[in-house]
Chains A and B, each alone.
Chain A
């Protein structure tokens, strides 16, 4: 090719300066470590739990923590230490599954609404607001009644289907901002369809701003599950989760068995706190802009 058209100046880029590790400031190391320990413990609980979490040892019901039962036993004689790890699986699974459901709905609906013409967008947003104005507890009870007997899958579906609205609104606002940018126009010009533009252009740009909400969603889904189970409309007692363990606590409180309520509650609270601080850190990190020229 003709030498005249080669750009003047640097022909090839200068070597990059040594890269500083990004996002290292303010990293909540302790929270992430605790979260990792809890998650790993739940995943690989078979390796170390001493007893079958579902076995009811009626001779040793409501035992305080001792050498045989590290965290004590509940009113039905199940070992709480084993139940914590085993039930953590279910709680985390519900948190992740329902977040996947709600994030999926939120991204698709938010992007569709953001890219839609003005009247359709307005109509959809009003519908979302109506949906938002119904108390979510009522919706959950109603949906759960329609789906029948509660299980891990149906519960996470129900929680996911009721918690996507606020995220959808954020996605829509971001898409509205992004859709006028010229790279989206250029992509449409080249023939990029809805899913192509969503995947290549919109999602990478709006994901940092919903990252925080996604993590918070895991948190609130776990909290929602335990609330529902505590009230007795969530998981049945034989499915062990942190929430269903707490469901026993009303009786435990009367009999002064503090370990039945305090230990699952502490695990729940610690994991929720760790997720909140991880979410906050992600939100701070997401603000970094990539351009520095």
Chain B
């Protein structure tokens, strides 16, 4: 398959909490990202979504499993070093809290041109500053903001700056770790629309991590549901919302409020009981492209 950009196989990551205790944050997760798609990863807090993103971006080293990016096994230090430049320029990440992901002592122009400065890339539009101005306009901000510092910008503006920084290298893979969670709803809508527009324009592959189902439904082509470190279900978004198969997904989807009081009152909540949900088993294809975690046949 040539159109698979990222192939995650049995990814496991454990955090050592103490001498004896080990927290299995991500447990045998496998999924694939196709070129140019938007893949949403949803799940409650602590289900391991951010850990997956950090493993994919090589910020954490997985305990077990393989991550292949363009055929390069990025968990292998030797292969990583051999393709360092490619991996560092073509994968970019956007963090949740834009206030802390931008250095408070740098100006917007310096922040956006940082990746170009690191890799000593001659920007296509002359100087670093011109390139930063261009990227800033691409995310809908005026070039007059170039000399501001993050402390002088609003939350939405800071997130736009973070997006501009990620996009100035023309990445193939963009991972966003709950990029809209710290913004209020109207700004969330702007940023989500901006993502949609930018993705259509640049065609990058987008790993979008969220806990907001409505956002995932609106933005993503495919979605995966995480539960306590396991990926329990992945399917095209429309299919997932129409026909959830795993009990956890059903419970999660039934919890979406309906913006109509009469139907909202009649809504039946699936009982939420973490012990009832299977965490064991392997992903099995229930319908074309729709994979569910199932116990292996005895």
> Taking beta carbons and an 8 Å cutoff, which residues of A are in contact with B?
1-2, 4-8, 11-13, 181-183, 185-193, 196, 200-201, 204-205, 289-293
Contacts and interface: CB of A to CB of B under 8 A. Distances in A.
B156 interface: yes
A191 B84 contact: yes
B140 A201 contact: no
Given A7-B157, A192-B118, A292 B190 contact: no
Contacts of B152: 13, 292-293
B103 A190 contact: no
Interface stretch (B86-94, B207-215, B250-258): B86-94
Contacts of A200: 103, 106, 110, 114
B13 to A, nearest CB: 16
Interface in B233-276: none
B144 interface: yes
Contact of B101 (A11, A183, A289, A292): A183
A12 B142 contact: yes
B21 interface: no
Contacts of A201: 103
A191 B193 contact: no
B59 A191 contact: no
Contacts of A293: 151-154
Contacts of A2: 197
A4 B139 CA distance: 11
A128 B93 CA distance: 37
A189 B150 CA distance: 20
Q: What range describes how many residues of B lie at the interface?
A: 35 or more
Interface in B123-149: 137-142, 144-145, 148-149
A192 to B, nearest CB: 5
Contacts of A292: 151-152
B100 A181 contact: yes
Contacts of B140: 1, 5-7
A105 to B, nearest CB: 24
A13 B145 contact: yes
Contacts of A185: 59, 95, 101
A183 to B, nearest CB: 4
Centre residue among A7, A187, A193, A293 by max chain B CB count within 10 A: A7
Nearest to A196: B118
B103 A191 contact: no
Q: Is the interface of A mostly helix, strand, loop or mixed?
A: loop
B85 A191 contact: yes
Contacts of B295: none
Contact of B148 (A8, A13, A186, A205): A13
B203 interface: no
A291 B150 contact: yes
Interface string B72-93: 0000000000001100110111
A204 B95 CA distance: 22
A6 to B, nearest CB: 4
Nearest to A9: B154
Nearest to A184: B103
Contacts of A6: 140
A191 B88 contact: yes
A184 to B, nearest CB: 8
Contact of A188 (B59, B142, B165, B186): B59
Contact of B103 (A4, A8, A183): A183
Nearest to B160: A7
Nearest to B193: A5
A186 B151 contact: no
A191 B118 contact: yes
Contacts of A186: 93, 95, 101, 162, 165
A19 to B, nearest CB: 12
Contacts of B141: 7
Contacts of B105: 204-205, 290
A12 B136 CA distance: 12
Q: Which 9 A-B pairs have the closest CB atoms?
A: A191-B88, A291-B151, A182-B101, A12-B142, A6-B140, A190-B115, A204-B105, A183-B103, A12-B144
B102 interface: yes
A290 B104 contact: yes
Centre residue among A12, A182, A188, A205 by max chain B CB count within 10 A: A182
A1 B119 contact: no
Contacts of A1: 137-138, 140
20 contacts: A1-B138, A4-B197, A7-B141, A7-B157, A8-B190, A12-B145, A13-B145, A183-B102, A185-B101, A189-B59, A189-B91, A189-B93, A190-B88, A191-B89, A205-B105, A291-B150, A291-B151, A292-B152, A293-B151, A293-B154
Contacts of B85: 191
Contacts of B92: 189-190
Centre residue among A13, A188, A193, A196 by max chain B CB count within 10 A: A13
A187 B118 CA distance: 9
A7 B156 contact: yes
